[in-house]
Structure 1
Amino acid sequence: MSNIEAFPLETRTPSEYESLVSMGANALDAIPGAVYLCDRQGWLVRYNSEAEALWGRTPLLGEGGDRFCGSYRLYLPDGTPLAFEDCPMASALEDGAATRNQEVLIERPDGTRLVALVNIRALKDSQGTVQGAINCFQDVSAHHALEQELRRKNADLEDFFENSAVGLHIVSGDGIILRANKAELALLGYPADEYIGRPIADFHVDEPVIGDILGKLSSGECLESYPARLKAKDGSIKYVTITSNGRFEDGKLFNTRCFTVDMTCVHTAEAARQESDDRLSATYEAATIGIAEAGADGRLLRVNDALCNMLGRSREELLDMTFLDYTHTDSHDQDAALYARQVAGELDHYVLRKRAFKPDGETVYLDIHSSSVRDTHGGFRYGVRVLQDVTLARRMENQIRDSERHMRNLLEALPAAVYTTDAQGRITFFNRAAIELSGRTPQLGDLWCVTWKLFNTDGSFLPHDQCPMAVALKENRAIRGVEAIAERPDGSRVPFTPYPTPLHDAEGNLVGAINMLVDISERKQAEDRQKTLIDELNHRVKNTLATVQSLAGQTSRNAESAKEGYNRFEARLLALSRAHDLLTRRHWGHTPLASLAQEVLLPIFGAEPGRVTIEGDGIDVDTRVALSLTMTLNELAINALKYGAMSIETGRLSVNWNVQPQSNGTLLTLDWREQGGPPVSPPEREGLGSRLMKRCIERDLGGVFVLTYAPEGVLCRFSFMVAEHSA
């Protein structure tokens, strides 16, 4: 172990700015984050490689180089150009005030942009005069992109309901319209305040129909394209089909979701067809619908012009065919069987929708109304077939079914948790996303929220009767801009943003509320990581500068020559750098002690099998312990290599540790044992290395440090309490 005499101390302690400027060229690279320094005039004097990577360019240092910032261009978050003389660094140098968590847009020379979060502190001398400033900044573009995506999804969900092409309304169990979209209001011509909140029966033409609809839904039936007539604001009648199902609470209908499809045009066409049928006897040839007469074998005996046009065939062609000759194969057997029964007298008439084809292969859909004309004895004379082309209606029906199916799929895939309550806060409905978010299946009738437990964002317990939904119901107002944390039964927690909104009846009375819970876990994790990194960076920069300053001062005081002092200082600075590298790779989290020991010692001793043994209990240590252990092991290793067992080929080294539970925590004990080296004798006086190790173990970690100079080899044992984190 070497002993080094100290140089006299400097009469003046360097300022923060002077210390930072005097650091080695790559010293700032040990800091995990983008960092740069400016002098009093704003000229860049130092920056690290991470700052250079974010800038996308290599700025020039010193007067005449880059000033205030190394970016190619700067902008405010809204895209407004930001002059360098107006940037946060320029402001800090001018008034000496710190800048915390300010966002700017950085543009690189290649045109790409990123959002940077900057933290700037002016560096002053002992008289308070600003000498320069330091800027620590980081890329938060991903966080911004996530926020924009969340806003887009929320807008899409609202747009889905309001701007759907199909009318959609929600009716309470008492028959009150709770909500209607734009398509529903446009269909009937009512403004929202004249439609929403009124009984649905007010808009039905046929009282028995709405009674039947509510009766079926109350009994648990689902309606599929149920026909109804609705009154429009202008007095006209709208023929619609209603597809709906009900939501129940305690076996009682709570509300319904209804899709309303305007079938007025189809109904008008059907009415026209019926009117043509009534006039067929007098207006056969002038009819606008197809009319044909067929014999018992199906051969066509008479056709009108409308049928010829409908099938794209001439009268002569049709009179040489049976009606089965132009029938599609998937409708052939059904039409033939029904007609055979009609000829036999089993049926007087039948109605059939079938497919037929034109000579060019085009498929048409025909509604067939077939009736019999019989003689006085009841014998079959011919069949009268009235045909109407419903191809357009069929296509519309297909489109409607596809639209309804698509809407149902979208509702099933809705990613946000949604639930409703009555006016007393009892849960009346929840979707599958609510089950996933809460980690359990809520019970209808539970109060206020679907979650198991709630907490405020500061971690304090939030009773359910004080949650945002409870406040919205008690104060009868929508709640926005708040966040909470849901705890699942398995202990996991989910941060979320609620959107509770009260619901009212026609008289404005509170009847319940609806709430959407948006999972913001990813955004909160990103925010937490950013805050942790910033806090850790501030802390580590201060600690690192203090450590470097101490190393420099103590090494210079104990060095026999400037060169030796420089070499010892550089070795210790590199050890500190290796510790920072290791912690940076692990994002300044917990580090396995085995990995730490190997990464500190193996680069010093090299790969020499059998000479160095490193083993111990599996345990992870935090950043404070890791830094202190790195400096201690480095000092022991350097001395072992220069003076101890590792200075000769026969020497061996073993590093062992164990952990023992104690009443107040966990005790970590590490043994350093050198063997087979040159004889050891105690030094005449304690050197810098011994004092540095004692400081790391006894002062920084509150432990016990024992260094023994046994003749057969150096023995070192130190122990301290740790918060155990199993590897």
Structure 2
Amino acid sequence: MTGRAQHDPIDVDARRSAFDGALVGLALLSSDGNTVVVANPALHALLARPSGSLDGAPSTDLAAGPSSLHSGIRVWRRADGVEIDVRVRRSGDTLVVEAVDPDEAAHSEANRDAMADAGLGEWRWDRASGYVTLSHRAARILGQPPGRSVTWGVLRPFLIEPERVALLVEQAVTSLEPYRFETRLAIEGRGVVVQVSGQALTDENGAFTGMVGVVQDITTRIETRSELQAHDHRLRAATAVARLGIFEWHMLDDHAVWENDRMFEIFGHAPEDGTIGKTDFLNGILHPEDRASVRKAISAALREDRDLHISGRIRRKSDGAWRTIDMAGRFERDAPDRLPRRLIGVVADVTDRRLAEERQTLLIRELHHRVKNTLATVQAIVGSTARTATDIDSFYEAFVGRIKSLAHTHSVLTEATWQTASLTGLLLNELRPYAEVAEAGGEDGRVVLEGAPIDLPSDIAVPIGMAIHELTTNAAKYGALSNRTGRVTVAWDLEPGGPAGTLRLTWRETGGPPVQPPRRQGFGSRLLQRVLITQVQAEVTTDYAPDGFSLTMRAPLPKRNASLNPLA
């Protein structure tokens, strides 16, 4: 009895039925791979082709080239020309083809290198077994062998904050929501910062079965970020100490960003007022006289690609005061030949510094003027004292006394930064050594001073101080202070008139020896004529009545120069 034929008809029919009824696409190629011998209905449906149309068709109708017929995720074409991702499994001349989910297509073998280059490693944790499966990249990041190799218990000791990580994972399991966190590891004695992303997995009944995700080594990124933050903190500390405002001006939309509170202080803005763009700055905030020079400086910095340095006056919003600022910055360009996109710079309020520099210049000029006047006064003292002295001792006594008076007046002015000298102080300095002084109408002293406090500007303090010295010296030698019964009364007030009022001062002596008019003009008379009248433009009246000498002086007070006041 002969055996059954090699291909039993029943067996062939069964195979054909299984071939046609398969849920995945099946195709049998010719031995050279160029022709589709037969394809099942599932493959025709996948490629949107009429049933049987692929049988005997060239294999190029399936894919662009022979490589697309090899195993892997490939790109094939449907009948309408649309390209689709399919998974091909080839065994000899037989192809098994099925559609691929877009996520699966993106997760192709070709993408693994890209993920590795990005520092991303994949992991999967199976709840039932407790094992974590690590890709090669994930294994290198975590310092573990790749594959299904470790458990959570093995990984936990490497975590710096295991409790926090466990809590985050527990919350993700409860919510079944994707999660992401950063944490630190200690691997082989070095610190590593990783970013972990994951998603809980469930079965068809919604029960939690495990997790999948990726891990990324972000140590370098964190270190760079920390260094940038430290640099930013150092910069902000330095600018705070230097009281500098930091800003950015974005040129395309004319929008400014003020980086610190000092910018708001300089411009007198509250945070709710917002910032100032270039248009508002040039047309509304900047002083009209400074706008042309500032525009010119900006144009030059743009044209020559150099740092911007400008100075100008701005009106502060909070109080309307004009303030002087210095601004420095640099334009940032995307490329050397392109227009800059923003200006980064600093602003300093230099108003007080500029005023101090102006005061210093004025003080130097004032000093030169005072030295010149002082030398002229000393020259006059020397000449007049020499002409009136009878011997060297009398010359020395008179000369030294007058120089001391001059020095005292200058000392008072110097202590007041060349501003003012108290009239009362000048009188007390000269009169107190000779007699008791009663101020404001007192009767106990031989010297009475009556008048409100008046500060003499430096322009007239020196000559008036010299005049007081001469009047006191004459009273001590020949007048009311030369005996035990004489009295000196000095009264003054401020009358209207002149730039800052007119000083009216009266010197009156009583109770001294009988007075006789001088036979010749001594130094005192010359001083009153030469210094008071010439330098102070004062009106001086003298009376040599027998019962006592008197003098009345009316001197216009010059206006004080506020720029010389260091406290202004």
* TM-score, length basis structure 2: 0.59
Of residues 285, 295, 300 in structure 2, which corresponds to 1:469?
Answer: 295
Alpha carbons 2:437, 2:446 under 8 Å: kept: no
Q: 1:367 Cα deviation (Å)?
A: 1.8
- Greater RCO structure (CA 8 Å; 6+ sep): 1
Matches within 5 A, 1:523-562: 524-525=354-355, 527-562=357-392
Equivalent in the alignment of 1:16: none
Of residues 410, 426, 429 in structure 2, which corresponds to 1:580?
Answer: 410
Of residues 599, 617, 642 in structure 1, which corresponds to 2:452?
Answer: 617
In 2 relative to 1, CA 551–472 (structure 1 residues): closer, same or farther, beyond 3 Å? same
The residue type equivalent to 1:552 in the other structure is V
Equivalent in the alignment of 2:127: 294
Of residues 620, 625, 628 in structure 1, which corresponds to 2:463?
Answer: 628
Alpha carbons 2:435, 2:446 under 8 Å: kept: no
Q: Does 1:392 align with 2:219?
A: yes
3-state SS in 2 of match to 1:662: coil
- Distance in 1 (CA, whole Å) between partners of 2:149 and 2:322 is 76
Alpha carbons 2:508, 2:551 under 8 Å: kept: yes
Equivalent in the alignment of 1:666: 501
Q: Does 1:353 align with 2:177?
A: no
Q: Does 1:721 align with 2:556?
A: yes
Q: 1:293 Cα deviation (Å)?
A: 2.9
- Distance in 1 (CA, whole Å) between partners of 2:529 and 2:239 is 65
Could you tell me which runs of 5 or more consecutive residues in structure 2 were left unpaired when the two chains were aligned. Answer: 1-112, 439-443
The residue type equivalent to 2:292 in the other structure is Q
Q: 1:666 Cα deviation (Å)?
A: 1.6
Q: 1:630 Cα deviation (Å)?
A: 0.7
The residue type equivalent to 1:597 in the other structure is L
Of residues 475, 479, 482 in structure 2, which corresponds to 1:644?
Answer: 479
- Distance in 2 (CA, whole Å) between partners of 1:578 and 1:612 is 20
Q: Does 1:709 align with 2:544?
A: yes
Alpha carbons 1:631, 1:693 under 8 Å: kept: no
Q: Does 1:367 align with 2:196?
A: yes
- Distance in 2 (CA, whole Å) between partners of 1:364 and 1:421 is 35
- Distance in 2 (CA, whole Å) between partners of 1:356 and 1:505 is 36
Q: Write out per-residue CA displacement over residues 567-606 of structure 1, whole angstroms, 9 at most, x where no aligned residue.
A: 2122222222222222222232233333333334435657
Q: 1:659 Cα deviation (Å)?
A: 0.8
Q: Does 1:402 align with 2:236?
A: no
3-state SS in 1 of match to 2:244: coil
What is the number of residues matched between the two proteins?
A: 427
Alpha carbons 1:449, 1:469 under 8 Å: kept: no
- Distance in 2 (CA, whole Å) between partners of 1:324 and 1:509 is 53
- Distance in 2 (CA, whole Å) between partners of 1:510 and 1:568 is 77
3-state SS in 2 of match to 1:446: helix
Equivalent in the alignment of 1:333: 167
Equivalent in the alignment of 1:448: 282
Alpha carbons 2:492, 2:505 under 8 Å: kept: yes
Could you tell me which runs of 5 or more consecutive residues in structure 1 were left unpaired when the two chains were aligned. Answer: 1-265, 278-289, 342-346, 455-461
The residue type equivalent to 2:532 in the other structure is I
More helix by share: 2
- Distance in 1 (CA, whole Å) between partners of 2:313 and 2:183 is 59
Alpha carbons 1:301, 1:319 under 8 Å: kept: yes
Alpha carbons 2:328, 2:346 under 8 Å: kept: yes
- Distance in 2 (CA, whole Å) between partners of 1:492 and 1:594 is 38
Q: 1:311 Cα deviation (Å)?
A: 6.8
- Distance in 1 (CA, whole Å) between partners of 2:291 and 2:168 is 64
- Distance in 1 (CA, whole Å) between partners of 2:362 and 2:239 is 38
Equivalent in the alignment of 2:400: 570
* TM-score, length basis structure 1: 0.47
Equivalent in the alignment of 2:517: 682
Which structure has the larger Rg over C-alpha atoms? 2
In 2 relative to 1, CA 417–590 (structure 1 residues): closer, same or farther, beyond 3 Å? farther
- Distance in 1 (CA, whole Å) between partners of 2:365 and 2:239 is 43
Q: 1:685 Cα deviation (Å)?
A: 3.9
In 2 relative to 1, CA 646–360 (structure 1 residues): closer, same or farther, beyond 3 Å? farther
Equivalent in the alignment of 1:60: none
3-state SS in 2 of match to 1:584: helix
Q: Does 1:415 align with 2:244?
A: yes
More displaced 10-residue stretch of structure 1: 703-712 or 498-507:
498-507
- Distance in 2 (CA, whole Å) between partners of 1:516 and 1:308 is 48
- Distance in 2 (CA, whole Å) between partners of 1:358 and 1:400 is 21
The residue type equivalent to 1:331 in the other structure is V
Q: 1:687 Cα deviation (Å)?
A: 2.7
Alpha carbons 1:356, 1:363 under 8 Å: kept: yes
- Distance in 2 (CA, whole Å) between partners of 1:448 and 1:435 is 17
Equivalent in the alignment of 2:87: none
In 2 relative to 1, CA 530–518 (structure 1 residues): closer, same or farther, beyond 3 Å? same
In 2 relative to 1, CA 409–465 (structure 1 residues): closer, same or farther, beyond 3 Å? closer
Q: 1:636 Cα deviation (Å)?
A: 0.9
Q: Write out per-residue CA displacement over residues 289-340 of structure 1, whole angstroms, 9 at most, x where no aligned residue.
A: x654333xxx725667988987789999966949889772223233124335
- Distance in 2 (CA, whole Å) between partners of 1:365 and 1:417 is 34
Measured on the aligned residues, the alpha-carbon RMSD in Å equals 5.2
3-state SS in 1 of match to 2:226: helix
In 2 relative to 1, CA 566–474 (structure 1 residues): closer, same or farther, beyond 3 Å? closer
